[in-house]
Amino acid sequence: MKIAVQYVSDSAGRKKSVQVPLSEWEKLMTKLKKYEQTLKLKTDLREAFQEVSRLKKSKSKKVALKEFLNEL
């Protein structure tokens, strides 16, 4: 993705901020939200698999999925 950016510099010539066209900013924000959702899903799945692994190793009483769903 090629974005036309403009840099804002201070009096010493150091870059302080970046300006992007609003339409490009909105596209970037949409992509960022999708990436955040994907990351959350991956994190949740990883935690779920870790929990399943812990439960398999545990000696405690297991609850069947059907029973769990009926409790909801």
What pTM was estimated for this model as a whole? 0.64
Whether residue 1 lies inside any domain: the answer is no
- In this prediction, residues 4-21 reach a mean pLDDT of 95
Domain coverage including residue 34: 6-71
Question: What confidence score (pLDDT) does residue 3 get?
Answer: 85
Whether residue 62 lies inside any domain: the answer is yes
Whether residue 40 lies inside any domain: the answer is yes
Is pLDDT of 1 > 80? no
- In this prediction, residues 32-39 reach a mean pLDDT of 98
Question: What confidence score (pLDDT) does residue 29 get?
Answer: 97
Burial (CB < 10 A; 0-12, 13-18, 19+), residue 20, is: middle
Question: What confidence score (pLDDT) does residue 60 get?
Answer: 80
| Degrees, nearest 5: CA angle 29-34-40 | 125
Question: What confidence score (pLDDT) does residue 65 get?
Answer: 85
Number of domains in the chain: 1
Whether residue 43 lies inside any domain: the answer is yes
**Among 32, 10, 8, which Cα is nearest to 20's?**
8
Helix or strand (DSSP H, E) at 23:
helix 22-57
